[in-house]
Amino acid sequence: MSLSPSSFERLVVDVLVGLGYGGSRLDAAEVVGGGGDEGIDGIIKEDRLGLESIYVQAKRWQGTVGRPEIQRFAGALQGQRARKGIFITTSTFTADAVSYARGLQTTIVLIDGRQLAELMMEAGVGVSPAEEIRILKADEDYFEGLDAS
């Protein structure tokens, strides 16, 4: 929550690139957010060839995201003639927002704060290993070699 809105938008795009969308960050993603972004904070290529773009909305919120915000994002997607979008928030979504997103012809994936944290760990964004655990097992070949001697 302490990140600025533009830094949060960059973090979200970095997570999506870290999950394998597009390729490199330079080739695959663009942060669009800011004044006049028309409801689109980022654009990311779905694959390395850039056959389709996914539009991103990133909301650094404490309150629950409701249906009106999802409706505005859906309208922004229509304005771009986009077929796919991802709405990411630091908070949660209302049941009405989730239901509305599921009923749309345009695909909108909703990612809440808990899921975002999990995706950050998976993508290795904003995290670093604190401890590594080494698990050892018995080497049966070693012991069989002792019997043969």
Q: What is the per-residue pLDDT across 91-110, written as a single tens digit (0 to 9) for each?
A: 999 999 999 999 999 999 99
What is the residue type of 122?
E
**Cα–Cα distance, 53 to 47 (Å, whole number):** 8
Q: What is the DSSP letter of 65?
A: B
- Global pTM reads 0.79
Q: Which domains does the chain have, with CATH numbers?
A: 5-148 (3.40.1350.10)
State the sign of the Cα–Cα–Cα–Cα dihedral 11, 16, 17, 19: positive
- For 95, what's the count of Cα atoms within 13 Å in the CB-facing half-sphere? 0
Tokens (6 digits) for 23: 């390729």
Query: Tens digit of pLDDT for each residue in 31-81?
Result: 665 555 567 888 888 877 778 889 999 999 989 999 999 999 999 999 989
> What tokens were used for 30?
């663009």
